[in-house]
Amino acid sequence: MNKEINYNEVDLFENINEADLDKLLVCIHSFKKEFQKGQTIYMEEDSIPYVGIVLYGSVHMIKNDIWGNSSLFTFFGPGELFGESFAVQKDISSSVLFKAAKDTKVLFLAARNIIHTCPNACAFHGQIATNLFHLLGMKNQKFINKIEILSKGKIREKLLAYISQLAQEQQSKYVNSPLSRAALAEYLSVNRSAMIRELSKMRDDGIIDFDKDTFIVKE
């Protein structure tokens, strides 16, 4: 059985104590929903009035082109927010697809109830609004990191940029990748077979080692 992340591990709830959080979740009309692997959470052009927090599982943000080709734009794990960039806009329709990459549970929060102070003017309500806009800035950095990866010309360079970013985030040479090989190839916009061959070459060259979805960065 999947275990939900603790709310005190969610950055959106930083500096909000447990007693106030219970009140806040009622105030901002929160609810939970489970999704099976492969199930769509939001379709393109859907209205997105809610910010989502992954309680367990994984959510992929996917972009489709007019020919029906899809690409994995980014991904979200336990404790991370998704949909907030659309939910805080005046036009809240989505231009991407959000899909559960594995069995996933999401806590949804009404965006308008976060960004507009409630009549009681609770201090914790102001705190969650502050946290949300801070996280929007952090999300922009995540998108910049993706642009950096895609700017690399060769498969090896893209893999090195991806592994390097994860190693810095996890502060470890033992890097856990949240993406399967197929999802990683889609995220890097490369051929899966060519990517797997390049990973084997990188291991032979003593740059990395790997075991399933764990990469070991060599000296």
Each residue's pLDDT expressed in tens, for the chain with a length of 219 residues? 788 999 989 999 999 988 889 888 988 889 999 999 999 998 766 677 888 999 999 999 998 877 778 889 999 999 999 988 776 665 555 678 899 999 999 999 988 888 776 666 677 788 888 898 888 888 888 888 899 999 999 999 999 999 999 999 999 999 999 999 999 999 999 999 999 999 999 999 999 999 988 999 986
In a 10 Å sphere around its CB, with 0-12 CB exposed, 13-18 middle and 19+ buried, how is residue 69 labelled? exposed
Spatial contact of 163 and 188, defined as CB atoms under 8 Å apart: no
Report the C-alpha gap between 73 and 47 in whole angstroms.
19
* CATH (residue range 7-149): 2.60.120.10
Pick one of 3.30.70.1380, 1.10.10.10, 1.10.10.350, 3.40.50.360 as the CATH number of 153-217. 1.10.10.10
Q: What is the model's pLDDT at position 41?
A: 93
Spatial contact of 12 and 132, defined as CB atoms under 8 Å apart: yes
Report the C-alpha gap between 91 and 145 in whole angstroms.
26
- Kindly report the pTM of this predicted structure: 0.86
Domain span(s) for CATH 2.60.120.10 in the chain: 7-149
Q: What is the model's pLDDT at position 116?
A: 72
Report the C-alpha gap between 183 and 51 in whole angstroms.
24
Q: What is the model's pLDDT at position 117?
A: 66
Spatial contact of 175 and 217, defined as CB atoms under 8 Å apart: yes
Q: What is the model's pLDDT at position 139?
A: 81
Q: What distance separates the 2 farthest-apart alpha carbons in the chain?
A: 63
Domain span(s) for CATH 1.10.10.10 in the chain: 153-217
What is the rounded (10 degree) CA torsion for 98, 101, 104, 108?
-10
Hunting for tokens 């794990």 — which residue is that?
77
Could you report the per-residue pLDDT of 1-48, keeping only the tens digit for each? 788 999 989 999 999 988 889 888 988 889 999 999 999 998 766 677
